[in-house]
Chains A and B, each alone.
Chain A
Amino acid sequence: MNTNRTSIAAFALVGVAALGIAADSENTSGVAVPETPAFDVADADAAGKVIATHADLYDRGWRDEVTRGRMTLYDAGGDSVERTFSRMAYERADDGDKLIIRFLSPAEIKGVAALTFENPGSSDDNWLYLPANKRVRRVSGANNTASFQGTEFTYEDLGALDPVEYEWRFLGKTTLTRGEESIEVYKLGATPTYSDTGYSRLEVLYSVDGFRQERIDYYDKAGKHLKTRDSRDWKQLHGRFWRAFTIDMTNHQTGKRTLLAQERYFLNLSLYTSKKTGKPRSNLPETMFTTQALQK
């Protein structure tokens, strides 16, 4: 499967404003919002594809990201454990993104770092650094259906939904209610067309405003409801890119749950000022995404 949009959704992300969706502020990102295409709901398959393609396009041009987040892993009984991490992502326009994810806590895994080169259409390149044996090892995981760091996310879930890798279908326009909040959404059905998948189908809710991926329901190969991914607390960065600051993945079959919360979010570093020098920062160089960088 094409995972070149991984970073976008890697810890979740595309989408809308939080606690009472923030009023649109001025777009300071320098990236124009693409025009919403017309679609005819009478042709449900075509309409589905148009919306999914547009949602993907909507999130292009962010260049790089540096974030810090917290993942909370809950077992069926509600006991939980927390991990914090930092993540750096480098957007490549016509190729897969490059990523470094580094654990910050708990202390025992602090410094464990993973480098990923996403390869559209084939397996990603992965390296893992373990500080306790001071080794960077090239690693090859089972596949897309492997768990991401023991969470309820699989690698398949981390990648954004590549419009060309699913059969889409428009299932209707509806309202998603989340607490006090009501969000107008397009409901799409998505069936993976690639073989290395754990799912028979997905149901995806995109907000009408901003094409944020508000919710995904995953169905296992037996057609049973497996997981729900709920993306909340959306913020619009630079008045342009929507990011969910909370992503909640619940496994309905085992009762387990993973919560990802973003705490710091820098999108396109050149739009920020350095604390130290007071000057504008530069973007991440592609050359820093190397195995040497893992060992710092």
Chain B
Amino acid sequence: MTPLGNTDRETRFAELTYRWRWPLTLALLAFVALVFASGVSRVGTFTAGLTGLHDPSNGSGNAPPMMFDPSMDIWFGESDPAVETYYEIEDRFVAEDFVMVTFQETEDPLGVFGRGSLETISRLTERFLTVGGVRHVRSLTSNPWIRWGAIADGDATEDGLIISDLVVGDVGALSDDDLVERMIAVLGAERSAQRIGEDRVRQVLGPGAKFDDHIGEPRLLGTIVSENGDTTAIQVQVLRPRLSEAQLEASFGDDERARQAGPTLHSVMVQRSSVRGLEHFLRVEKGLSITTPEFTTLVAEADALPDGPEKRARRLELFDPTRSMIRDDDAAAVRKWFEYSPVGGGGFVDRTDPMDVVDAPAGFAPQAISPYEFKLGGVPFFERNFEEVGLGDAKYVPIMFLVLLLGLAIVFRSFAGIAAPLGVVFGSIMAMIGLTFTNGNLLNNLTMMSPNMLTAVGIADAIHLVAAWVYLRREIDDKRELIIEVIRRNALPVSLTSLTTAIGFYSLTVSGLEPVQMLGSMAGLGTIFAFLLSMTFVPALLSLVPHHKRATAKSGGVELFTKERSARLVRAIVAYRKPILAAAGVVFLVSAYGLSQIEIDSDFRRMFPDDNKTMSDFHWIEERMGGVGDLEIVFTGIGADDEDVAFTTKDSEQLEALRMRELGAGRYPEDFDPLAPGDVETLTQLADRESRWNASRIGVSTEFLTALDAFEARLREEMSDPANPMSAVSDLLSPLDILRKIHQVQHENAAAFYRVPVEGDVPADVRPARLSYDEFIEEWSYTPPQTSAQLMAQYYLQYENGARPGENLSTQLSASRTHFRMQGRVRQASSAIHRAAFERIEEIARTEFPVLGASLGQPAADEAVAAVTVSGKSVLFARTTHLFATGFVKSMLLALGLITLVIGLIFRSLRLALVSLIPNVLPIIVPISFFGLFDVALDGPAILVSSVALGVCVDDTVHLFTKFVRAHQSGATAEAALAAAVHRVGGALSLTTVLLVIGFGTLLLSDFAPNFQMGALATVMIALAWFADFVLTTATLSYWKPVAATHNP
């Protein structure tokens, strides 16, 4: 006896289910309602906690519930050194992203050094600093201009070292020569001469000036201003604010999940507000922000308040650029300004309130205050674009449901036939979302797909029951019997397909990416609910439909697979089974080849439509100013993180006291006791520890910095070769730039000293240690031997003493000088190019600069003084794509293995299990292999749809197998058993297939390439699954011998 043959047990189960259908259904629905309500409530609490920290509503006060986590951090793989480095940068240096606001000046001969352009830069710099969340603004007018020159601060003018902004005070006060002087200071004499002519440059520098002495400012070239001087960037450092323990406690109490999700969501929200503030000021520049009459009234009211903090606070609130709405005295939301945006045909609309987009008044013509077209770049814009375009697809969900509803209506022509599948779909989605929220998780870009996936599953489950009901209505008189038979026939296949589908989804949890894991467990859970609802709610609902056999005999749907048609189809397939299977074999081999050629790759440029503003801005900037993505190359001194290398201030003081005595005892015996043997030993030990500590302090190591200087030059060499993947990297900044500059300026601007200081730069007479007596403290003082390391440490101090806090070295060099950060920018490219570039950086360090290139956590070569890690969001995104690919292969193999095992166990047949592989695997690999065969890169997220398709394939296979085995065991020939099976399930399977193809087909409308690819893959896979089962499975099973010979004991 096989389990399939145990009709008694199935009947008993069906009868039991029927008797308890209402209590079970109501209990289940109550549970679904409960978890949904609890989920909604938890999201509500979470939202309240978050909005208490920051109002994300643009001032209107109407914050939507926070159900969605748009942060990109969730995409970073676990236990990846690049990810650890990324978070370490936040801890050690600063948590922020840069935004670039760029424009081009083509009219003025001085380019962006012209008055008009500098005025715009200066105005925007000042305004951007008033935007909440902006830590610092670097621009042509605001950056440390380090130079040697006359200082007239006090009583007498004296030459000295000056650190000031390039433009101090009013741009209008600068003479033409002042402007040219600044141009030369930044671009250098040679580049300036190319722009304005040699004579003009000499007028400012003097006739005898050597152009080689004026090398310009490497820290700004290619970063803040293009080398030809016609394009400039205002670089805004936008914080990702962190929450203190007190804020976490106040907002989220001891809710652990909220404490995890809250801070990232908060930082994204605040960053979005900051970006809105920046955009506001750009709209002001373009004359596209017009204050409303209501706002003017509110300002007048504020101005009428007595001077004092209340008035200032109100004015700050009123003019807060990050909010375009405000609450008035009656707490009503009032628009502060119209935010006009151009639309096609020359018109403008106001987008202040996304709920209420209105046209600009007729004849509106913006009065721009600067003539420039601003282009925006940086990770925050990229992240926002990703979310906006991705979420834009939500509008296709209603279309999908409408299509499904129409399909069901046409086929079943019955309310119950529509309500049962949709009820299962909605119920299971509610349960899934409810449980997700109840557990404190939020939706993200990927798990947003889970409702679509679950729709496929739910429809498939329910349709089998409804189809059986429609079919059996004509044959069974009694309603109770009818429903019991519907349950009996479907109990096993529906449980089995639910199990295999759940396995397919849960297999995603082996991925290294958290969103994929979440998608797997959510969809898996949803599948279980879809099964439970199908077995309780559907029969209960169907049992409500009045039943008269005669009345229904002629209605209730189209029967596509009549007995005769089914038999004919099977006969035809059997006749051609050899060529069919041979062809399938060929297809399999070609696909396998295609799979081997496949390249999983993400290229953000490809993901968006051509007219996407963010991407076209990025492109514009990258053509003129280099990349808009971030790159971090972080060096850590060997031993810097070891406990036993630590050298405390106390140790240092003790060592110094001993050294002073050692030195003093020889020269001033009356003041110093000679060292005792124990002291000598202590001194030796301390000196040894000090030298190990110093070895880890790479930021002041001549060996490290000299090597880094050469390393930087090597990187630049490869970056300048367009054929090298490294050309995706532009612009390398590090404290080296400061060091070289201070050294140059300490030598009165001589260009030859723009280099890393070496031992020879330390005067001979300060190299030995010295003693001096401090008359005022009345103590001896010891000055240690001066070396190039001391010189560099002192240069840093000199710089930090003059620069603004925003330009502080602490964002690039740890205070202990053990961690050193080099920042680059990355152009948009495919993730494969990015990965190649990032690996190349590490490779150059490892192979050509062993001093720099140890790997973190690995034993270092003897000569290594530092370990290198490459990180940054661009790096992490590139790795995410890679993780998608490896995780996907693991998940699919696991799922297929488990599913095949389950099929083998249930049907007690190894052969059937093996045969099931054909219809389960082919539909998946054929479409994927096309990407390899035609050399089209496949986006990571798109392949996840294979998990749904696998569920559908297995679903088809199991239903067919069940009916086939039953018929076959009852003694039919293989061909007859197949015909019976096709007749029984053909209609339901075909209907599911059509509905799902149409449902997923709506994704083909998407502007977002990954979603489009997903739609294309899903529709083809699901259609192929139908074909594989009806044709290939049938062809294979037709070889089955009669039951007696094949029966497995």
A-side interface residues toward B, CB under 8 Å? 44-45, 66, 68, 70, 73, 75-77, 79-82, 84, 86, 88, 103-112, 114, 117, 119, 122-126, 128, 130-135, 137-143, 145-150, 152, 154, 167, 169, 171, 189, 191, 198, 200-201, 220-224, 252-256, 269, 274-276, 284, 288, 296
- CB B978 to nearest CB in A, in angstroms, measures 67
Q: Please measure, in the bound complex, the distance between the C-alpha atom of A109 and the C-alpha atom of B791, giving whole angstroms.
A: 8
Q: Please measure, in the bound complex, the distance between the C-alpha atom of A140 and the C-alpha atom of B153, giving whole angstroms.
A: 8
Residue B440, interface by CB 8 Å: no
With A76-B92, A106-B652, A131-B783: A114-B801 Cβ-Cβ less than 8 Å: yes
With A169-B308, A223-B132: A123-B153 Cβ-Cβ less than 8 Å: yes
With A147-B804, A200-B316, A253-B135: A133-B746 Cβ-Cβ less than 8 Å: yes
Residue B815, interface by CB 8 Å: yes
Q: Name the CB-closest residue of B to A86.
A: B777
Q: Name the CB-closest residue of A to B87.
A: A77
Contact B153 A125 (CB under 8 A): yes
Q: Please measure, in the bound complex, the distance between the C-alpha atom of A256 and the C-alpha atom of B93, giving whole angstroms.
A: 9
Contact A105 B653 (CB under 8 A): yes
Q: Please measure, in the bound complex, the distance between the C-alpha atom of A109 and the C-alpha atom of B790, giving whole angstroms.
A: 6
- CB B54 to nearest CB in A, in angstroms, measures 11
Instruction: Give chain B residues whose Cβ lies under 8 Å from the Cβ of A154.
Output: 805
Encoded as 1 (CB less than 8 Å from any A CB) or 0, chain B from 69 to 96 comes to 0000000000000000000101111110
Contact B804 A145 (CB under 8 A): yes
Q: Name the CB-closest residue of B to A139.
A: B161
Contact residues of B: prevailing secondary structure = mixed
Instruction: Give chain B residues whose Cβ lies under 8 Å from the Cβ of A256.
Output: 810
Contact A117 B790 (CB under 8 A): no
Contact A254 B94 (CB under 8 A): yes
Contact A131 B800 (CB under 8 A): no
Q: Which of B379-387, B620-628, B760-768, B915-923 contacts A (4 or more CB under 8 A)?
A: B760-768
| Among A110, A117, A135, contact of B784 (Cβ-Cβ < 8 Å) | A110
Which A-B residue pairs are the 10 nearest by beta carbons? A138-B160, A77-B91, A150-B800, A125-B154, A132-B791, A108-B793, A141-B802, A81-B815, A123-B153, A223-B316
| Among A108, A146, A150, A191, contact of B809 (Cβ-Cβ < 8 Å) | A150
Instruction: Give chain B residues whose Cβ lies under 8 Å from the Cβ of A125.
Output: 153-155
With A105-B656, A106-B652: A149-B801 Cβ-Cβ less than 8 Å: yes
Interchain residue pairs with CB less than 8 A apart (23): A76-B91, A76-B95, A79-B816, A107-B784, A132-B790, A134-B766, A139-B151, A139-B798, A140-B802, A142-B802, A145-B804, A147-B800, A149-B800, A150-B809, A167-B307, A171-B309, A198-B805, A221-B129, A222-B132, A253-B239, A253-B241, A254-B94, A256-B810
Contact A131 B766 (CB under 8 A): yes
Q: Which chain B residues (765-820) contact chain A, with CB distance < 8 Å?
A: 765-766, 772, 774, 776-778, 781-784, 786-791, 793-798, 800-805, 808-810, 814-816
Contact B153 A147 (CB under 8 A): no
Instruction: Give chain B residues whose Cβ lies under 8 Å from the Cβ of A296.
Output: 772, 774
Q: Name the CB-closest residue of A to B241.
A: A253
Q: Please measure, in the bound complex, the distance between the C-alpha atom of A148 and the C-alpha atom of B805, giving whole angstroms.
A: 8
Q: Name the CB-closest residue of A to B131.
A: A222
Contact B242 A76 (CB under 8 A): yes
Q: Name the CB-closest residue of B to A135.
A: B746
Contact A147 B808 (CB under 8 A): yes
Contact B790 A142 (CB under 8 A): no
Q: Name the CB-closest residue of B to A103.
A: B797
Instruction: Give chain A residues whose Cβ lies under 8 Å from the Cβ of B653.
Output: 105
Contact A137 B746 (CB under 8 A): yes
Contact A222 B134 (CB under 8 A): yes
Q: Name the CB-closest residue of B to A67.
A: B777
Contact A284 B776 (CB under 8 A): yes
Contact A109 B164 (CB under 8 A): no
What would 8 more interface pairs be, CB under 8 Å, given A107-B652, A128-B798, A132-B788? A81-B814, A130-B795, A139-B151, A142-B165, A143-B804, A145-B805, A154-B805, A222-B131
Q: Please measure, in the bound complex, the distance between the C-alpha atom of A253 and the C-alpha atom of B786, giving whole angstroms.
A: 37
- CB B959 to nearest CB in A, in angstroms, measures 57
- CB A111 to nearest CB in B, in angstroms, measures 5
Contact A140 B163 (CB under 8 A): yes
Residue B158, interface by CB 8 Å: yes
Most buried by A among B242, B244, B777, B782: B777
Instruction: Give chain A residues whose Cβ lies under 8 Å from the Cβ of B791.
Output: 130, 132-133
Q: Please measure, in the bound complex, the distance between the C-alpha atom of A107 and the C-alpha atom of B793, giving whole angstroms.
A: 10
Q: Please measure, in the bound complex, the distance between the C-alpha atom of A277 and the C-alpha atom of B307, giving whole angstroms.
A: 59
Contact A132 B766 (CB under 8 A): yes
- CB B247 to nearest CB in A, in angstroms, measures 10
Residue B670, interface by CB 8 Å: no
Instruction: Give chain B residues whose Cβ lies under 8 Å from the Cβ of A104.
Output: 781
Q: Please measure, in the bound complex, the distance between the C-alpha atom of A122 and the C-alpha atom of B239, giving whole angstroms.
A: 33
With A66-B777, A108-B700: A254-B135 Cβ-Cβ less than 8 Å: yes
| Among B762, B772, B776, contact of A66 (Cβ-Cβ < 8 Å) | B776
Contact A119 B802 (CB under 8 A): no
Q: Please measure, in the bound complex, the distance between the C-alpha atom of A221 and the C-alpha atom of B804, giving whole angstroms.
A: 14
Contact A141 B163 (CB under 8 A): yes
Instruction: Give chain B residues whose Cβ lies under 8 Å from the Cβ of A109.
Output: 790, 793-794, 797
Q: Name the CB-closest residue of A to B88.
A: A77
- CB B700 to nearest CB in A, in angstroms, measures 6
Q: Name the CB-closest residue of B to A80.
A: B815
Q: Please measure, in the bound complex, the distance between the C-alpha atom of A88 and the C-alpha atom of B796, giving whole angstroms.
A: 23
Contact A139 B801 (CB under 8 A): yes
Q: Please measure, in the bound complex, the distance between the C-alpha atom of A84 and the C-alpha atom of B165, giving whole angstroms.
A: 30
Contact B777 A44 (CB under 8 A): no
- CB B178 to nearest CB in A, in angstroms, measures 17
Most buried by B among A189, A224, A288: A224
Most buried by B among A44, A111, A256: A111
- CB B313 to nearest CB in A, in angstroms, measures 8
Residue B130, interface by CB 8 Å: yes
- CB A50 to nearest CB in B, in angstroms, measures 16
Contact A133 B762 (CB under 8 A): yes
Q: Which chain B residues (356-408) contact chain A, with CB distance < 8 Å?
A: none
Instruction: Give chain A residues whose Cβ lies under 8 Å from the Cβ of B90.
Output: 76
Q: Name the CB-closest residue of A to B765.
A: A134
With A145-B805, A275-B778, A296-B772: A140-B92 Cβ-Cβ less than 8 Å: no
Q: Please measure, in the bound complex, the distance between the C-alpha atom of A221 and the C-alpha atom of B816, giving whole angstroms.
A: 31
Q: Please measure, in the bound complex, the distance between the C-alpha atom of A222 and the C-alpha atom of B319, giving whole angstroms.
A: 10
Instruction: Give chain A residues whose Cβ lies under 8 Å from the Cβ of B244.
Output: 252
Contact A169 B161 (CB under 8 A): no
| Among B130, B762, B802, contact of A139 (Cβ-Cβ < 8 Å) | B802
Contact B777 A68 (CB under 8 A): yes
Q: Please measure, in the bound complex, the distance between the C-alpha atom of A142 and the C-alpha atom of B146, giving whole angstroms.
A: 9
Q: Please measure, in the bound complex, the distance between the C-alpha atom of A269 and the C-alpha atom of B776, giving whole angstroms.
A: 9
With A79-B816, A150-B808, A222-B129: A112-B794 Cβ-Cβ less than 8 Å: yes
- CB A272 to nearest CB in B, in angstroms, measures 10
Most buried by A among B129, B161, B787: B161
Instruction: Give chain A residues whose Cβ lies under 8 Å from the Cβ of B700.
Output: 108
Contact A75 B787 (CB under 8 A): no
Residue B162, interface by CB 8 Å: yes
Residue B144, interface by CB 8 Å: yes
- CB A162 to nearest CB in B, in angstroms, measures 19
Instruction: Give chain B residues whose Cβ lies under 8 Å from the Cβ of A114.
Output: 801
Contact B778 A276 (CB under 8 A): yes
- CB A70 to nearest CB in B, in angstroms, measures 8
Q: Please measure, in the bound complex, the distance between the C-alpha atom of A114 and the C-alpha atom of B90, giving whole angstroms.
A: 32
- CB A193 to nearest CB in B, in angstroms, measures 12
Q: Please measure, in the bound complex, the distance between the C-alpha atom of A222 and the C-alpha atom of B277, giving whole angstroms.
A: 11
- CB A104 to nearest CB in B, in angstroms, measures 8
Q: Please measure, in the bound complex, the distance between the C-alpha atom of A220 and the C-alpha atom of B165, giving whole angstroms.
A: 19
With A75-B91, A132-B786: A146-B133 Cβ-Cβ less than 8 Å: no
Residue B312, interface by CB 8 Å: yes
Q: Please measure, in the bound complex, the distance between the C-alpha atom of A34 and the C-alpha atom of B160, giving whole angstroms.
A: 43
Q: Name the CB-closest residue of A to B309.
A: A189
Q: Name the CB-closest residue of A to B169.
A: A195
Q: Please measure, in the bound complex, the distance between the C-alpha atom of A76 and the C-alpha atom of B155, giving whole angstroms.
A: 41
Q: Which chain B residues (91-146) contact chain A, with CB distance < 8 Å?
A: 91-95, 129-135, 144
Contact B800 A142 (CB under 8 A): no
